[in-house]
Structure formats: structure tokens, C-alpha cells
């Protein structure tokens, strides 16, 4: 081996050792300042509630403040793009939900969903519930279908954004039942549910967590669970799929970071989030509020695979439902 080759080999070894040392040092010192947890929805919805519970737990775990910042709008694109362009240092994170996997099929994005992010951990499923205003003369999904067919174009369904799971649930419902209803999009769960409660919208395919108190208080009437399986919090409530063959929707809630974030920082975040979200007190609080918390949160490698699969699955749902956005 020539002297130059020896020198080159030595430099490569030194660089590798130095890189490993810096990575380990970065992980040991992380975090050393406030972490921003971006929720791409307005305050008050299910994702916001979960994020605030998580932020409290992570603040205690890290000994540094984890601050929730709401950046709602454009079916989560505003908040998502903000994090995609943030420094990849672990100090700006994203609560990524089902819309994260839907948007590539609906919008021309300024980022590649699968390349712009590292998907740190998935801790929740996301149950939706079909609810109607109490004045609506329908107590079952079958009765609602009959009502919609008798009044084409007159019933309205509120969603928490164009292209959201709540919107696509309504589109799939109409396609499979041959009905026609008017979609009214909002910037988040809270305002969409509020208009159903007030009677300004007929119904909503709503996120379970924020709508559950209104179901229990009688301000809205639940007709069916949107997801494939019945909800733990409402075990007697049938799924819509039990009435409409082929109706199946699922969702998720997790944490993402900019893709170039150091692996050691991702591992630190993943371990801390899993520790917080598997804490019995946190689990109990979230389950009681309506969250579909996973028995075993998905670590980074599994969450990465899951999201890739969801992007493909939602592409088919969007195509089957014939959904297009301006």
C-alpha cells in the first residue's frame, strides 16, 4: 500500500470515529433548549389534545420545555411544510396524522412526504364517528341513507378540512350509497363539530376524541363508527361497514422530524415518546378522553414502513371515491 493510500485510510478512520463521537455527544446533550411540537390544526381538536398531553410528559422526561405550536390550515399542509423546512436538529417536530398520508394523492406539495421526514414513532390510531344533529330523523346508518336519497343535495356534512379523513369518509359514503350531500370544510375539528351541535350542518364524520363529550351529553347523535373496528369507548356502536359493504377507513397519529435529523437524536426522541405514551396514567387519561391509543407504539423503522403503506392505500381510496380538490 502506498503512503498516500495509508494516509487516505487513516483519514477515513479518523472521520468515522469523529463522526460517531459527535453523534453520541449530540444525543447526550439533546435537548439543551426548548423543543417546538407543531400541531398542523387549530387548537381544540384531537391531535391538539394529545400533543399537549405528550408535551407535558416530554417536558418532565427531558427537563426542557416542549412547547405546542398550532399551525392549522390547508389540510395540515401549512404546519407540515413549516417542519419540512425547519433545521434538522430535533428541536422542531410535527404531529403527523392521517392527512400526512392522504395529501400526496390530492395536492401538489412543495415537499416529498416520504423523503422530507423521518417518522419517529406512531402512538395512536385515529377513530372517527358519524354523528348527526339530534333534529335529524335518522337513528341508524340505514335511515340516514334513506333520508339522503329522499333529499338529494340537501343534507350537509362538516369536515375538519378538504382532503381530511372526515371529508374522504363522506365522499366514500356517497359513492357507495349513491347519495348526494354537500361538503362543508373547516380548519379543524372543533369548528366543524360546533356547527353540527348548533344545527348549521346536518352531520360530521368527526374525530372521536373531541366529539365524544357531545355524544354523551346528547348534543349530537352517533350513528356509526367510521373505522374498520368498533371503538373501545363505544363498544355497542356498530361500524358503518356493518351496513355499507366496502366502507373501511383507518387513521393514525404520530411524530415526525425533518429527514436529516441525526439518528442519535431520533433514537432519543423515539425512546422518550414511547416512555411517555406508555405511562399508565397518560394512557388512562387519553383512553377516557376518546383516544385510540396503541398497546405498543411503533418505533421508527416500523412507522416508516407503515406510512409508506398508508400513502399507497389512501391513493386508492382517493381514486375510488373520485375525490379532486382545486
Q: What domains are defined for the chain?
A: 33-125+251-321 (3.40.190.150), 128-242 (3.40.190.10)
Quick: pLDDT tens for 145-170: 999 999 999 999 999 888 889 999 99
Q: Look up residue 252 and give its three cell numbers.
A: 393514525
Reported confidence tier of residue 23, pLDDT bands at 50, 70, 90: very low
Q: For the ranges 17-21, 167-171, 177-181, 216-220, which has the lowest average pLDDT?
A: 17-21
Q: Look up residue 221 and give its three cell numbers.
A: 347523535
| Residue percentage of the chain with pLDDT more than 70 | 91
Of residues 291 and 130, more confidence is placed in 130
- Which pLDDT score is estimated for 13? 47
pLDDT value at 273 more than 70:
yes
The dihedrals phi and psi of 14, each to the nearest 5 degrees, come to -65, -40
The single residue listed with the C-alpha cell 344545527 is: 199
pLDDT value at 26 more than 70:
no
Strands 35-39 and 117-125: unpaired
Q: Look up residue 248 and give its three cell numbers.
A: 373501511
Determine the Cα–Cα distance for residues 158 and 197; give it in Å rounded to an integer: 11
Determine the Cα–Cα distance for residues 264 and 89; give it in Å rounded to an integer: 10
Determine the Cα–Cα distance for residues 74 and 93; give it in Å rounded to an integer: 18
Reported confidence tier of residue 209, pLDDT bands at 50, 70, 90: confident
Quick: pLDDT tens for 108-134: 999 999 999 999 999 988 789 999 999
Reported confidence tier of residue 228, pLDDT bands at 50, 70, 90: confident
pLDDT value at 27 more than 70:
no
Residue 60, helix vs strand vs coil? helix
Q: Look up residue 227 and give its three cell numbers.
A: 373505522
What is the overall mean pLDDT for the chain?
A: 90
- Which pLDDT score is estimated for 289? 78
The dihedrals phi and psi of 86, each to the nearest 5 degrees, come to -75, 155
Average pLDDT over residues 40-60: 93
pLDDT value at 326 more than 70:
no
Amino acid at each position: 500500500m502506498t503512503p498516500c493510500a495509508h494516509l487516505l485510510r487513516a483519514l477515513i478512520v479518523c472521520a468515522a470515529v469523529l463522526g460517531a463521537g459527535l453523534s453520541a455527544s449530540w444525543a447526550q446533550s439533546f435537548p439543551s433548549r426548548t423543543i417546538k411540537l407543531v400541531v398542523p390544526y387549530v387548537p381544540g381538536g384531537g391531535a391538539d389534545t394529545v400533543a399537549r398531553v405528550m408535551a407535558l410528559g416530554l417536558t418532565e422526561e427531558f427537563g426542557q420545555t416542549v412547547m405546542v405550536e398550532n399551525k392549522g390550515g390547508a389540510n395540515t399542509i401549512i404546519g407540515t411544510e413549516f417542519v419540512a423546512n425547519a433545521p434538522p436538529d430535533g428541536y422542531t417536530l410535527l404531529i403527523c396524522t392521517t392527512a400526512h398520508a392522504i395529501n400526496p394523492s390530492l395536492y401538489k406539495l412543495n415537499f416529498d412526504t416520504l423523503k422530507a421526514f423521518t417518522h419517529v414513532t406512531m402512538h395512536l390510531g385515529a377513530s372517527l364517528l358519524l354523528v348527526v344533529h339530534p333534529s335529524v330523523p335518522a337513528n341508524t346508518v340505514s335511515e340516514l341513507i334513506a333520508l339522503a336519497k329522499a333529499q338529494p343535495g340537501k343534507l350537509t356534512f362538516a369536515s375538519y378540512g378538504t382532503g381530511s379523513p372526515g371529508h374522504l369518509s363522506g365522499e366514500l359514503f356517497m359513492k357507495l350509497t349513491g347519495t348526494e350531500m354537500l361538503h362543508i370544510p373547516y380548519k379543524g375539528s372543533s369548528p366543524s363539530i360546533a356547527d353540527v351541535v348548533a344545527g348549521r350542518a346536518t352531520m360530521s364524520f368527526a374525530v372521536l376524541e373531541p366529539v365524544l363529550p357531545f355524544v354523551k351529553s346528547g348534543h349530537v347523535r352517533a350513528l356509526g363508527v367510521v373505522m374498520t373496528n368498533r371503538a373501545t369507548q363505544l363498544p355497542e356502536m356498530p361500524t358503518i361497514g356493518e351496513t355499507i359493504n366496502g366502507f373501511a377507513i383507518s387513521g393514525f397519529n404520530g411524530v415526525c422530524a425533518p429527514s436529516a435529523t441525526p439518528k442519535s437524536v431520533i433514537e432519543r426522541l423515539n425512546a422518550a415518546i414511547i416512555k411517555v405514551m406508555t405511562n399508565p396514567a397518560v394512557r388512562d387519561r387519553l383512553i377516557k378522553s376518546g383516544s385510540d391509543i396503541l398497546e405498543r407504539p411503533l418505533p421508527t423503522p416500523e412507522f416508516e414502513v407503515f406510512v409508506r403503506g398508508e400513502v399507497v392505500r389512501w391513493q386508492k381510496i382517493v381514486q375510488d371515491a373520485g375525490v379532486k380538490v382545486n
